[in-house]
Amino acid sequence: MSKKTILVVDDEKQIVEVLSAYLEREGYRVITAYDGQSALDTAFKENPDLILLDLMLPELNGFDVCRIIRQSSSVPIIMLTARDDEMDKVLGLEVGADDYVTKPFSPREVLARVRAVLRRASNEPANQERLVVGELEIDLAKHGVKKAGLPISLTPTEFKILEAMAKNPGRVFTRLQLIDYVQGYSFEGYERTIDAHIKNLRQKIEDNPKNPNYIVTVFGVGYRLEDGNHA
């Protein structure tokens, strides 16, 4: 099996060196960038399996880098942010990040997040299942989604949320239940971050995201997946 490639992007050289050392010790191939434009150039040239992306970068910030990458790629992205600001985290998730880690962080925490996100992104041969909900077709083995026969590109986190709900159509999921299913471990954040992923999912699978027919809000509780004919 070939090594997974991780792109580490941060303008602080020491952080890049520390994360690179830990990741390489775990068997990953590491490539690096120190500003937003270099991050984009390297990402499109090298096609990494995951990107660790600092929020505050010269030239282009992490939000812009993530937004541009998401126009053509569903590569897993974990944001690194020095600001423990709720809106920064939500905005990062809304532009397509799969997870975030707040500085200062433990390299072991970053490794745990990397492993978890890569697990979500990997194909699982045991899941030779295809789920159908309305016009949505979800191929669990290939991590593929189609609507009315047309492919939809989802991030690994978006796919896991849709998978959880499609396996249990009509069931109401709380935000914490969705986070537990997606992360696979105790999430060190606040449950409202799941709303950003739901918003992105709706943009991709709903005809009218503001009046969704698939992912329906159950006020005061969470979300459930309908068959597309929700009134």
Which of 102, 121, 140 is the last residue in one of the domains? 121
Question: Omega of the bond prior to 107 within 30 degrees of 0, cis?
Answer: no
Across residues 121-147, what is the average pLDDT?
Answer: 78
**Looking at the domain assignment, is residue 67 inside a domain?**
yes
Number of domains forming the structure of the chain: 2
Per-residue pLDDT, averaged over 40-68, amounts to 93
The label of the residue with tokens 């992105």 reads: 200
Identify whether residues 103 and 15 lie together within a single domain: yes
Look at residue 28 and tell me if it is in a domain: yes
CA 202 to chain CA mean position, Å: 15
153 or 180, greater pLDDT: 153
Give domain status of residue 91, yes or no. Answer: yes
> What is the helix (H) or strand (E) element at residue 46, kind and residue range?
helix 36-46
d(CA 171, CA 53): 35
**What stretch of H or E contains 73?**
none
Maximum mean pLDDT: which of 35-39, 218-222, 225-229: 35-39
Burial class (CB in 10 A: 0-12, 13-18, 19+), 209: middle
Mean of pLDDT over the chain: 86
> Same domain for 12 and 76?
yes
Does pTM top 0.75 for this prediction? Answer: no
Same domain, 19 and 113: yes
Report helix, strand or coil for 224: strand
Indicate whether 231 belongs to any domain: no
